[in-house]
Structure 1
């Protein structure tokens, strides 16, 4: 049975998080002389350490309590803090499914945590039979599930994810960076029934704010309290919080942009299907397409020479390029370049 107290590192349970005077003060003051700030300027004050306005708006949109939301400096901070909270360096382990997002590997290495990479099946689904022994290992504290998955573009079967949630006593982190492009519903709706679930989302993809570097985690309030203890006090800047709020208050434009990207993806799939150098097009529920080509290394290099940058995923999936959906003009340049090849 899942026990949050048991899987949390002892030093994190004992940690007293940094507390500023503004954490301790309730209300709005007229004079702030507590943080050694410069009294002059427009960005001279530290940002809201609790991101109250952003959480309030997300709470309305996602139908969760503000206490169930963590705002991070990109979703990479959500990933990194999970290792810090739940994994003893050099002792505990984490698990993910390969091929997938490379930052799980990097964060694990930084935190001196072994990352087990469970190969996906040929259809890029989870092999529960091979996974079962790891679900029973006390040393495995985290499982990362990227769904829709990067770079494959597919979502994992609900039955597989549900099985993991119900049979793993560690923390399950579902990375939903691309969920806004998917026909699947977010697992945020499963939070109440799954005490070991963390949902990670980002504003870098469908919200068009990659330069802002803001991500979010959704979980029960006990888990979010651990995140808040461990995070730096002012981890998200005022500028970034304001940019997120502006986007969250522009839902109509968000939907317009998202639908344009989805329509452009459909056009690209049709174009790819006519090219002899394209041997397979994998189904995608994200804002990119994984494409198998005749020679990924050569085609990638030829595109680079034409100043078109894609992602060569040949080392992860043989002879595959991951191609992001761009604007109509960018996509036309890509297709014309591929036709020349």
Structure 2
């Protein structure tokens, strides 16, 4: 069996123990994808796709929000491109990959996650492996697809904020190896780096160890939604050309500030990208989304993104220092690696015991939101996060307001 649409010279050869055709479900390999009208022609008098030739139905004098007025000139009556190669080309250049054949676009990272599970993992019989505490959509997509879940928790011991390959919230590589050796039905390992909610980077050394494990025949997915807030050298995208059993997922939602347009990215060997392309919905990326993404990936816009990231990283430091000044009121040291655009901080028992207090954290979380107008996220039920809330790095003004209101609240709760 062959991968439809993949040139013979693009079949993977590394690592030697990996055979993508043994990972992909047989029905997906045999799939002949839906061929849409724009796959063939996109110019001329277009009478092939049953579109509305008179244009969209929104009248010129309609009461429209000025923010979306400009989208009405985007040929909304025509189906969008099924491939969006200009966007893929800019992403490939940004992430140091050879070309568009290494890039897949999805409706947010969540579509990428769901599609990977659908093409690799057989419902009812096969499994994914996750490393709690981690992003919740891995488990949601697994349950939706009737796929089993094996859990190998991250390292939960160690001092708050301790990093490194053996520090708190690092991957227990040996235990992951044991798990996949014991259960050949595991087809995908999901690693989140920087982690959500941990904010901790997974070392490329740990990723390489798992990619090179001959006993594991599946795919490793490294979810890098927050990677631009960390050191550039930490991205597993640098390994994509070397390992065909790796998929790196990214997004324009975080560092690019485009959460509303829902554009997710998969970076992988062309063989896996071709499988995802064959399986996706014909026109999954809308014209407004594509238009904004293309602008966001210009050189000037990327420079602006990097400037914003630099500002947020600086503000992250301001937030961490401000939280440290509240230690006498029962704010613990931030946990995790603090390599994302958020921090995770425990609230401690008021009696001075130094122990995290879930009940107090819940009260603080709800009071901030319902009475003080500041919304953070309670994470105290996640492994290793007892008593914790997650605080997104906002603007300087927002962080100043949070710290002031939190200080007053801690004196009463």
Q: 2:44 aligns with which of 30, 45, 60?
A: 30
Q: 2:361 aligns with which of 296, 304, 310?
A: 296
Q: 1:228 aligns with which of 270, 277, 299?
A: 277
Instruction: Answer yes or no: is the 8 Å Cα contact 2:134–2:198 preserved in 1.
Output: yes
Q: In the aligned structure 2, how far is the partner of 1:8 from the partner of 1:155?
A: 28
Match of 1:118 in 2: 152
Q: In the aligned structure 2, how far is the partner of 1:34 from the partner of 1:290?
A: 53
Q: TM-score by structure 2 length?
A: 0.80
SS for the counterpart of 1:322 is strand
Q: In the aligned structure 2, how far is the partner of 1:151 from the partner of 1:145?
A: 12
Q: 1:89 aligns with which of 123, 133, 141?
A: 123
Match of 2:14 in 1: none
Instruction: Answer yes or no: is the 8 Å Cα contact 1:177–1:201 preserved in 2.
Output: yes
Instruction: Answer yes or no: is the 8 Å Cα contact 1:261–1:287 preserved in 2.
Output: yes
Say if 2:294 is the partner of 1:280.
no
Instruction: Answer yes or no: is the 8 Å Cα contact 1:280–1:293 preserved in 2.
Output: no
Match of 2:172 in 1: 127
Match of 1:265 in 2: 316
Q: In the aligned structure 2, how far is the partner of 1:190 from the partner of 1:130?
A: 23
Match of 1:321 in 2: 389
Q: How does 1:243-262 map to 2 (within 5 A)?
A: 243-249=292-298, 250-262=301-313
Match of 1:171 in 2: 219
Instruction: Answer yes or no: is the 8 Å Cα contact 2:204–2:236 preserved in 1.
Output: no
Say if 2:100 is the partner of 1:66.
yes
Moved more, 217-226 or 291-300: 291-300
Misfit runs of 4+, over 4 Å:
none
Q: In the aligned structure 2, how far is the partner of 1:192 from the partner of 1:261?
A: 31
Instruction: Answer yes or no: is the 8 Å Cα contact 2:316–2:341 preserved in 1.
Output: yes
Any gaps of 5 or more consecutive residues in structure 1? none
Q: In the aligned structure 2, how far is the partner of 1:128 from the partner of 1:33?
A: 56
Q: Shift in Å at residue 204 of structure 1? A: 0.4
Q: TM-score by structure 1 length?
A: 0.97
Match of 2:32 in 1: 16
Q: 2:207 aligns with which of 161, 165, 176?
A: 161
Match of 1:201 in 2: 250
Question: 1:105-157 CA distances to partner (integer Å, 9 max, x unpaired)?
Answer: 10000000011121111211112232222222220000000000000101123
Q: Shift in Å at residue 159 of structure 1? A: 2.2
Q: In the aligned structure 2, how far is the partner of 1:133 from the partner of 1:198?
A: 22
Q: In the aligned structure 1, how far is the partner of 2:175 from the partner of 2:302?
A: 42
SS for the counterpart of 2:93 is helix
Instruction: Answer yes or no: is the 8 Å Cα contact 1:135–1:169 preserved in 2.
Output: no
Q: In the aligned structure 2, how far is the partner of 1:118 from the partner of 1:179?
A: 23
Moved more, 132-141 or 89-98: 132-141
Q: In the aligned structure 2, how far is the partner of 1:125 from the partner of 1:255?
A: 27
Instruction: Answer yes or no: is the 8 Å Cα contact 1:94–1:141 preserved in 2.
Output: yes
SS for the counterpart of 1:223 is helix
State the number of aligned residues: 339
Q: In the aligned structure 2, how far is the partner of 1:131 from the partner of 1:47?
A: 42
Alignment root-mean-square deviation, CA: 1.2
Say if 2:389 is the partner of 1:330.
no
Match of 2:81 in 1: 48
Question: 1:3-35 CA distances to partner (integer Å, 9 max, x unpaired)?
Answer: 10111101001101111122134xx52211111
Q: 1:142 aligns with which of 185, 188, 192?
A: 188
Q: In the aligned structure 2, how far is the partner of 1:268 from the partner of 1:298?
A: 21
* Higher share of residues assigned strand: 1
